[in-house]
Amino acid sequence: MSLQDQINAEIISAMKAREKDKLEALRAIKAALLLEATKEGGDGTVSKASEQVILKKLHKQRKEAAKIYIEQDREDLAKDENYQADVIEIYLPEQMGEDEITEVIVAVISQLSAAGPQDMGKVMGAAMAKLKGKADGALISSIVKRELNK
């Protein structure tokens, strides 16, 4: 079952169950997938890689919005955004843990013979290539900085 079919089925069940917040998140996913499928020069389909990029973008937007709402003392709006982020997260692949990411980064650093913070760009490029879709870029960056400053 494709992601679009899965989302459509979830939308129907959310409508029947009257789950307004879940429905809003699912409709956002569906809209983003439809935009990608119908963009100029496209063939009407969305690749698995594009689906993952779209889902990550939507998830990140919700998390950032929730953070801003919390800073503005709008807990009610932050709760809605976090709930939608949790719904979107269901469709994302499992993310690697910090220990696993650290192992990969240490291996990349030794492979590239990186000596310190001046090699941050080289290490980040190689680490992002290996960890694409498996870990958050900000987390990767912080671990690379920590390991290069040892």
Q: What is the mean pLDDT of each run of 10 residues along the chain (150 residues)?
A: 89 94 93 88 80 90 95 94 93 85 88 83 87 82 86
Say what the pLDDT of residue 144 is.
87
Q: Which fold has domain 3-89?
A: Hypothetical Protein Yqey; Chain: A; domain1 (1.10.1510)
CATH code, 98-148? 1.10.10.410
- Region of 19 (left: φ > 0; alpha: ψ -120 to 50; beta: rest) is beta
Q: Where are the domains of the chain?
A: 3-89, 98-148
Rounded to two decimals, the pTM is 0.74
